[in-house]
Structure 1
Amino acid sequence: MTQTLRFTLPGGREREITVRYALNAGYAGRDTEQVQHHVDELAELGIPAPRRIPTLYPLSASLVGRPDVVQVAHAKTSGEAEWALVVGENDVLLTVACDHTDRALEVHGVAWSKQSAPDVLGDVAWPLSEIEHELDQFTLKAWVRHGDTEQLIQDGTLAQLLPPSYWLKELGDRVVPGTVLLSGTIPMIAGVDQFADAWRVELTDPRRLTSRIHYTVEELAPAWD
């Protein structure tokens, strides 16, 4: 199952790209010591460490979209602010993304948890070739909402993550038209409850053009078992 997404480019042009393949990067920070520390922290929580760092999780293309509501099986799910590459026929676009993940399932397998919730993409996208030289100046922020209260939970720049050029070089011929690649995420602010009623994510360029995501989280009724 594929989905065609429409993006607004700088200057107001629009592009449509049909998603055929999805890849989620993980443990993809540029500071390798910080990444290893994060792996060690997760191991203490029972979340298995990857065999290699950074790592990559192939996903079903049907999980990539732009939903207003993300339906989940229980309360222990949350998003992650990221960038995403969207590969067209003749170019590559960059947009904001939010990787929603089942945290309860994560302890049994990160790859499984990635398959249980969507990758949400933003509305605005930039041609990568036009902004690659200034990517480290892009800001990436996420907010969570609990009831009527919204809190900042992630606040950083793309300088904290491995750049698109790393993944394009590593993947080579696997980056075919219709591929969507999510970058991995930046740290969350300590003390903010990630298990929220809604997520909002923004990626902003040096000229203040912003790609946005906003969705609410709806917990489904329990299974009849």
Structure 2
Amino acid sequence: MKFQTETGVLEGAPERLIVAGWTGRDRAAVDHHIEELAAIGVPAPSGVPLYYQCAPALLTQETQIQALGEETSGEAEPFLLKQDGRIWLGLASDHTDRALEAHSVAASKQICAKPVADVLWPFEAVSPHLDDLVLKSWIEEAGSWVPYQDGKLASILPLEQLMQGAPLTDGTAMLCGTLPAIGGVRPAPDFRMSLSDPVRGQSIDWSYRTATLRIIS
């Protein structure tokens, strides 16, 4: 994978991928969401937050992915990468199979590719004002782009706390959780996302399309 940074191109292939889940900072809201999902058959997590283990080969910078069936969807998330002793912040989508989620959240995450934007910021450059960073996404519906997620990283557990729960060794990447979907979680073939830094006046933007593979049984 290749990333643009403020000092040049960073190349690397992560050797470990962690997908953090249940990372909302409002614990009461997280517990309520767990109860809602349990009511429709989604198993409750064994811990909060939870650090799912996924294959690093799922990370991709392709602008089109393939997914099995029509019940998968993306969600924008902060992306952390530790390489050569340094931590970087970027943007990724935890594309997930929502039908499989009812049987196993871990399996639902492992089955889908994880699109990653090609820009990284030095973590130390944004760490003093992480809560001010704005995470957004849009989906295409009926030919128009519709807001899907919109909020600050203040809604997610501090990234330093997540790194304490799952220490990043060299070659480790982590997706750090997400924001609620406006209008509810739903599939869409086209997904756009951004992470913007109002303090430094910079943003990371990425988009991708999902091609659906027909389920044969």
Question: When the two structures are superposed, what TM-score results if normalisation uses the length of structure 2?
Answer: 0.95
2:96 pairs with 1:104:
no
Question: In the alignment, is residue 142 of structure 1 matched against residue 137 of structure 2?
Answer: yes
Runs of 4+ in 1 over 3 A off after TM superposition: none
Farther-moved stretch of structure 1 (41-50 vs 105-114): 41-50
- Selected match of 2:186 from 182, 194, 197: 194
Q: Name the amino acid aligned to 1:103.
A: R
Contact 2:51 2:166 in 1 (8 A): no
Q: How does 1:17-28 map to 2 (within 5 A)?
A: 17-28=12-23
Verify: 1:117 aligned to 2:149, yes or no. Answer: no
Of the structure 1 ranges 110-119 and 121-130, higher mean CA displacement relative to structure 2 is found in 121-130
1:9 pairs with one of 5, 23, 28: 5
Q: Per-residue CA shift, 1:76-103, capped at 9, x if unaligned? A: 1101111010111120000011000000
2:180 maps to amino acid: P
Residues 132 and 153, structure 2, Cα contact 8 Å, conserved in 1: yes
One-letter amino acid of the counterpart of residue 184, structure 1: G
Segments of 5+ residues of structure 2 without an aligned counterpart are none
Alignment match, 1:155: 150
Q: What does the per-residue CA deviation read over 1:94-132, in whole Å, with 9 as the maximum and x for residues that have no partner?
A: 001100000000000000001110111112111111210
Conserved in 2, the CA contact under 8 Å of 1:153 and 1:194?
no
For residues 208 and 72 of structure 2, what CA distance do their matches in structure 1 show? 13
The one-letter code of the counterpart of 1:209 is Q
Alignment partner of 1:203 out of 191, 195, 206: 195
Q: State TM-score, norm by structure 1.
A: 0.92
CA contact (8 A) 1:64 1:120 kept: yes
After superposition, the C-alpha distances for 1:6-39 in whole angstroms (9 at most, x for unaligned) are 11123x6221122110000000011101111111
Identity of aligned residues (%): 35
Where do 5+ consecutive residues of structure 1 fail to align? Answer: none
Distance in 1, matches of 2:91 and 2:40, equals: 29
- Equivalenced residue count is 216
CA distance in 2 between partners of 1:17 and 1:186 (Å):
28
CA contact (8 A) 1:82 1:98 kept: yes
